[in-house]
Amino acid sequence: MLLVACGGDDVGGSSSTAGSGTPSSTGAVGTTPGTATDDPSTAGSSGSGSASGTTTSSPTTSATTATTGPVDATGSETGPADTGVGDTTTGAGGGVVRFVAIGDTGEGNESQYMVGQAIAQLCAQKGCDFGMLLGDNFYDSGVSSAVDPQFQEKFELPYEDIDFPIYVALGNHDYGGNGIGVDFDTKKAQYQIDYTQLSQIWKLPSKFYTFKREHAEFWGLDTNQVMTDPINGNSDPQKNWLINGVAASQATWKIAFGHHPYISNGDHGNAGSYENLEAIPLPFVTGESVKEFMEDAVCGKIDIYLSGHDHNLQWLEPKCGTEFIVSGGGSKSEDLPGDNAAYFGLPLTEGFFWGELKDDTFTGIFYDKTGKELFSKTLSK
């Protein structure tokens, strides 16, 4: 769960409730689900151009309130969400949107609580709109029901000073099997969807879904379904839904988030050769299906893709027309043995990512678990 606004170096001040900045806009936000039974609509012309630039900037304060669409008792969305009267999020134009992204949080350890406090303090100073949880929300094998105590220990309590919505993606550990991503209990992912009914800030209306805010549209992906296809369902409907949705979107900024990376310098590595097994014909393990999904539906169509899976902080140099950011240091950290070209990479450091979309510029900042700024970069369309 997280989101945060810009900042300087060490975060000072009190750890008061996040999202308390002076609002500059109050547009409502709706979520539209995508499920394995979706019949994706036909789309128009696609694509987002690549962004460039390296200047830095200091974001101004803003906070808005998000709402989700109707969800029934099983956690499945009952229909397209209302985006609000006079909604301007579907068109090109300007605006300001701020968010934080953090992945691999589900340990309930000291580092996770420290990251949560750093986010709350920064948001209390700067203002926040929403957060993204990038998967592996509960180690080691997800949750056993919608009332599993882990929801408190590894989500509500670490982020108790945050009151903005947190949009959730599912990771391989959330599907169970101690990280294999498949389990005899086939409802593990559904339990996390169901929990949306029980939490004020947890937002997971469907395994994959989209929501809009100001001049940006966001797609939450279920990359574990792609990784394990067909065991957890056929992922073609998800891919078609994403391709068609992005093509039809009029948003200035198109951003997707999920658990598995396309490229990464972490221990898991690049999709198609995860675990350094490129030469071994094990697509279930190497992530060949994730690679194909990204190249078909994300590359050159999505402006920015955020993921976790590797437990470190990375901003890779753009590949295939898309920016790739890894923010998987939400509760633990690992090394960076890979050699992909990158603007930034920091091993063995827990932390989080904050982003601001301001008109046609995007500013991203990494922070460590104490709130210290580590790296900042600005892109312009």
| 13-27, 276-290, 363-377: least confidently modelled range | 13-27
In this predicted structure, the answer to whether residue 69 has a pLDDT above a threshold of 90 is: no
Over the chain, what is the mean pLDDT?
81
pLDDT in tens, 172-221: 999 999 999 999 999 999 999 999 999 999 999 999 999 999 999 999 99
In this predicted structure, the answer to whether residue 50 has a pLDDT above a threshold of 50 is: no
Share of the chain above pLDDT 70, in %: 73
In this predicted structure, the answer to whether residue 286 has a pLDDT above a threshold of 70 is: yes
In this predicted structure, the answer to whether residue 66 has a pLDDT above a threshold of 50 is: no
| pLDDT confidence tier of residue 8, bands split at 50, 70 and 90 | very low
Task: Give the position of tokens 């947890």.
Answer: 202
Prediction pTM value? 0.80
pLDDT in tens, 294-343: 999 999 999 999 999 999 999 999 989 999 999 999 999 999 999 999 99
Residue predicted with more confidence, 139 or 65: 139
- The residue type found at 317 is E
Q: How far is CA 146 from CA 77, 105, 185, 191, 222, in A?
A: 16, 18, 13, 5, 19
Q: Which pLDDT does position 33 carry in this prediction?
A: 73
Residue predicted with more confidence, 31 or 294: 294
- The residue type found at 169 is A
Report the CATH fold assignment for 31-380.
Answer: Purple Acid Phosphatase; chain A, domain 2 (3.60.21)
Q: Which pLDDT does position 94 carry in this prediction?
A: 75
Cβ-based neighbour number of residue 14 at 10 Å: 10
Distance, CA of 305 to CA of 322 (rounded, Å)? 7
Spell out the SS3 assignment of 82-132. Answer: CCCCCCCCCCCCCCEEEEEEECCCCCCCHHHHHHHHHHHHHHHHHCCCEEE
Q: Highest mean pLDDT: which of 92-101, 142-151, 283-292?
A: 142-151
In this predicted structure, the answer to whether residue 10 has a pLDDT above a threshold of 90 is: no
In this predicted structure, the answer to whether residue 84 has a pLDDT above a threshold of 90 is: no
| 42-46, 118-122, 371-375: least confidently modelled range | 42-46
The DSSP bridge partners found for residue 378 are 363
In this predicted structure, the answer to whether residue 156 has a pLDDT above a threshold of 70 is: yes
Cβ-based neighbour number of residue 146 at 10 Å: 18
